[in-house]
Structure 1
Amino acid sequence: MPDLLSILTSLAWPFAIAVAWVAGEFGQRWTGLPRISFYGLAGFALASPQLGVLPAPDTSMIALLADVSFGLILFELGYRINLHWLRANPWIGVAGLVEALATFVAVYVIANRVGTPQLTTLMLASLAMATSPATVVRVINEQRSSGQVTERALHLSAQNCVLAVFAFNVVIGFWLFRTSEDLGDALWKSLIALVMSAFTGAVFGIAVPALLRAIGNPRLDATVAFAIGVILLVAICDTAHLSPVVATLFFGLVSRHRRVAFSQTQRNFGALGELLTVLLFVFAASTLNWRQVVSGGTLALLVVAARLVTKTVGVALFSHLSGISWRKGALTGLALAPLSVFVILLLEHARHAGVQVVDELRAMAGVTMLLEVFGPIIIQRALLWAHEVPERSHAA
C-alpha cells in the first residue's frame, strides 16, 4: 500500500490549484478585486514555509509548467505589440526608457543608502525596472478594457521586460565573471544567450505562421498551433539555458507581423490558459518565505514607493508629447506597478544558472508579496479611473 505521505504530496498541487481557483472566484464576486490577487494569497498561505501544504517548487515539473504559462502570456503580449504604432509615436518608447532608467537609479540609491551589498543592489535595481506582463495581460483581459491607457500599459510592460532582462543578465554576467573569471561563460550566460533567445523566438514566429498557411486554415487552427509552439519553445529554452521570457515575447511579436489572425475569443488561450494562469500565480507566491518577506519589509516598502513615483512621473512627463492628457499619462505609469511573477521566474532562472547571491534579495521577497496582492488591484483601479473598463465588467 502506498505511503500516505507520498499520496498527500502528489495531491498537494492539484489541491492548491483547486483552492486558489475557488478563492479567486468567490473573492472576485464578493470584493470586485482581480482573481489573481486571491490566487497569490492562496499560494503564499499554502507554501512550504507557511502552512506547509505545498512541497518546494523546484522538486517537480511545476516550475516548467509555470514557465509554459508565462510563455503563453508573453506570446499574447508580443502578439498585441504594434511596432508601426511605436515607430509613428516614438515618444511612447522614450517615456518607457526614461521611467525604467529612473526606477533603476532610484532603487539603486535607496538600496545603497541602507547598506545593501553592491552586487545585490544592482540586481535589485535591474529587477525593479520590470513590469510583470502576467498581471498586466491577465487583468486587462479579465476587465475587457480597451483604450489609450490599456494599449500603452501593454506596450510599456513589454519594453520594461526586455530592458529588465537585459540589465539583469548584464549583472549576472558580471557576477559570473567575478566568481569564475571565465569571460566566455559569462558572456554566454548573459548577452549572447539573450541574442540567441530572441533569434530562436523569431524563428518560431516565422515557422509557425508558415506552417499554418501550408495547412490552409490558419484561423481555425491558430490557437492550438501557437500553444504547441510556446510549449516547445519553452522546453528548448529550458534545455539550452536560454531566456524563455525573451524567446516567447519575440515569438508573439514576429507572429503578429506575419499576419495570422488571433481572434478575440482566444484570449488567454482558452481553458488551458485559464488553468495555467492559476498555477502560475500559485507557484509564484509559493516560492516566498514569510521570514524573508518580513525581514526585507522596510526596504520593500521603499522600493514599491519609488517604483510607483518614478513610473508614474516618468510616463506622465511625456504625456502631451505622445498625444494623451497628463491624467492618462499618470494612470498609464500607475498601471505599470505589477512586478511579482516576472521577478520570481527571473530569479529562479538565475538560481539554476548557479547565481546563489539571489538568496540575499530578501527585500525583493517583500516587494514581490506586496505587488502579488496589490499589483493587480492597482492596475485595475488605473483602468477604471481611465474609464476604459465596460460597465458590465465593472459590475461583474
Structure 2
Amino acid sequence: MPSLLSILTSLAWPIAITIAWLVGEFGQRWTGLPRISFYGLAGFALASTQLGVLPAPGTDDTMALLADVAFGLILFELGYRINLHWLRINPWIGVAGLVEALATFAAVYFVAVRFGTAQLTALMLAALSMATSPATVVRVINEQASSGQVTERALHLSALNCVLAVFAFNAVLGFWIFRTSEDLGDAIWSSLVVLAVSALAGALLGVAVPAVLRAIGNVRQDATVAFALAVILLVAVTYTVRLSPVVATLAFGLAARHRRVAFSQAQRNFGALGEILTVLLFVFAASTLDWRKVVAGAALALTLVAARLVTKTVGVMLFAHLSGVSWRKGALTGLALAPLSVFVIMLLEHARHTGLRVVDELLAMAAVTMLLEVFGPIIIQRALVWAREAPEKSHAP
C-alpha cells in the first residue's frame, strides 16, 4: 500500500492546478485583473523553494512536456492570426518591431554590463529581453475579447519578437558552445540549423493537416481537434529530437492560416483543453522560480524592466504615423509588448533540456520574470482598455 507521502506527491500537480484556477477565478472576480497574473502568483507560492508543494524544476519531464504542449497551442493560435499580406502592404509595422527589438537588445546589454555582469551572461539577458510572451498576449486578448489596431499590432509584433529572440538566444548559445568546446559544427547546429529545421517541420505540418482535413470533407467541425492533435505531435517530436517547439508551432500556425482552413472565434484557446493547459503552463512557469534568485537579482531586474519598457514603447511609437496610427496608439502598442515571463522560462527550460547549464547564471532574469509574470498581464490589459479596444470590466466589491 502506498504511503501517505507518495500519495500526496503524486497529487501535487492536480492540487496545485486546482488551487491556481480557484485563485484566478476569485482574483479576477474581485479585482478585474487578468486571471493569469493570479495563476503565476499561485505557482510561485507553491514552488519547491517556497511552500514546497510542487517538485523541484527538472525532476518531472512529463509536466515540462505538457507545459510545452500548452505553449505550443498558444503559439499555433498566434501564428494562425498573423497576416503576412498586411505586413507586406504595411512594412513599417515590421520595421518598428525590428527597431524596438534591436534597441531593447542594446539597452539591456548596456545596463547588464554596467551592473558588472559577465559579457556572455549580458548577451543572454539581452537576447531574452527582446521577446514578448505570446502566451500572455494571446490569453489576455482572448479574455478581454479585444479587437482593433493595438490588438492586431501587439499580436504581430509579439510573433516577430519571438522569432528574433529565439534566433538571438540560439546565436549566443552557439557562441558559448564554440567558446567552451571549439566545435564549430555543434555551434552552428545549436543555432541556425535547429531553427531552420524547426520552421520547416512546422511549415510542412501546416500544409499536411489542411490537406487531410479537406480529404475528410468536414473541415469546420474537425479542424480544432486536428490542429490540437497535430500541435501535440509536433511538440513531442521537437522535444524529443531537441528542435525548437517555439519556432515549429509558430510556423505551423502561420502555414495553416495561409492554407485557408477556418479557425473560428468559438475555437479560441482550444476550448476546455486549452483552458486547463493554460493554467498548468502559468503554474509551471512560475514554479521554476526561486525567491532567493528573485531577491538577488532585484536591483538589476528593475532597471532591465524599465529599460525594456522604454525601448519597446518608444521604438514602436517612432513609426506610429508611418504605419498608419496615432502616436498614442503607437505608444500603447509598445506598452502592450511588456509581457515576457512564460516565453523566457520555456526557452530556458529548452536550453536545460539540451544539457546546456547556463540557466543558473541568469539571476536577474528570475527577478525580471517574476515581476512580469504578475504585472505583464496587467500592463497589456490596461493598454487595451486605454486604447478603447477592450471593455473596462466591472468586478465584485
TM-score bucket (shorter structure): over 0.9
2:26 maps to a residue whose letter is F
Aligned to 2:17: 17
Aligned counterparts of 2:315 and 2:246: Cα–Cα separation in 1: 25
CA displacement at 1:58 relative to structure 2:
2.2
Aligned to 1:63: 64
Aligned to 1:239: 240
Aligned to 2:260: 259
Aligned to 2:279: 278
1:339 maps to a residue whose letter is L
Q: Secondary structure of 1:356's match?
A: coil
Q: Please show how residues 164-203 of structure 1 align to structure 2 within 5 Å.
A: 164-203=165-204
Aligned counterparts of 2:176 and 2:356: Cα–Cα separation in 1: 8
4+ runs of 1 displaced by more than 3 Å?
Answer: 393-396
CA displacement at 1:226 relative to structure 2:
0.1
CA displacement at 1:254 relative to structure 2:
0.4
Does the Cα contact within 8 Å between 1:119 and 1:175 map onto a contact in 2?
A: yes
CA displacement at 1:394 relative to structure 2:
5.6
2:324 maps to a residue whose letter is G
Q: Secondary structure of 2:40's match?
A: helix
Aligned counterparts of 1:354 and 1:111: Cα–Cα separation in 2: 25
Aligned counterparts of 1:308 and 1:250: Cα–Cα separation in 2: 27
Q: TM-score, normalised by structure 2?
A: 0.98
Aligned to 1:37: 37
Aligned to 2:116: 115
Q: Secondary structure of 1:59's match?
A: coil
Aligned to 2:47: 47
Aligned counterparts of 1:185 and 1:11: Cα–Cα separation in 2: 40
Does the Cα contact within 8 Å between 2:200 and 2:248 map onto a contact in 1?
A: yes
CA displacement at 1:130 relative to structure 2:
0.1
Aligned counterparts of 1:264 and 1:108: Cα–Cα separation in 2: 40
Does the Cα contact within 8 Å between 1:27 and 1:33 map onto a contact in 2?
A: yes
Unaligned runs of 5+ in 2: none
Aligned counterparts of 2:189 and 2:6: Cα–Cα separation in 1: 40
Deviations, residues 287-320 of structure 1 (Å, cap 9, x unaligned): 0000000000000000000010000000000000
Aligned to 2:372: 371
Q: Secondary structure of 1:115's match?
A: coil
Aligned counterparts of 1:147 and 1:357: Cα–Cα separation in 2: 40
Aligned counterparts of 2:353 and 2:239: Cα–Cα separation in 1: 10
Q: Please show how residues 69-148 of structure 1 align to structure 2 within 5 Å.
A: 69-148=70-149
> Alignment RMSD, CA only?
0.9
Does the Cα contact within 8 Å between 1:47 and 1:55 map onto a contact in 2?
A: yes
Aligned counterparts of 1:100 and 1:223: Cα–Cα separation in 2: 33
Does the Cα contact within 8 Å between 1:73 and 1:133 map onto a contact in 2?
A: yes
Aligned counterparts of 1:263 and 1:110: Cα–Cα separation in 2: 44
Deviations, residues 64-108 of structure 1 (Å, cap 9, x unaligned): 000000000000000000000000000000000000000000000
Unaligned runs of 5+ in 1: none
Does the Cα contact within 8 Å between 1:335 and 1:379 map onto a contact in 2?
A: yes
Aligned counterparts of 1:238 and 1:104: Cα–Cα separation in 2: 27
Does the Cα contact within 8 Å between 2:151 and 2:389 map onto a contact in 1?
A: yes
Aligned counterparts of 1:113 and 1:394: Cα–Cα separation in 2: 44
Aligned to 1:299: 300
Question: Aligned residues, how many?
Answer: 395
CA displacement at 1:352 relative to structure 2:
1.8
2:246 maps to a residue whose letter is V
Aligned to 1:287: 288
CA displacement at 1:357 relative to structure 2:
2.1
Q: TM-score, normalised by structure 1?
A: 0.99
Does the Cα contact within 8 Å between 1:143 and 1:394 map onto a contact in 2?
A: no
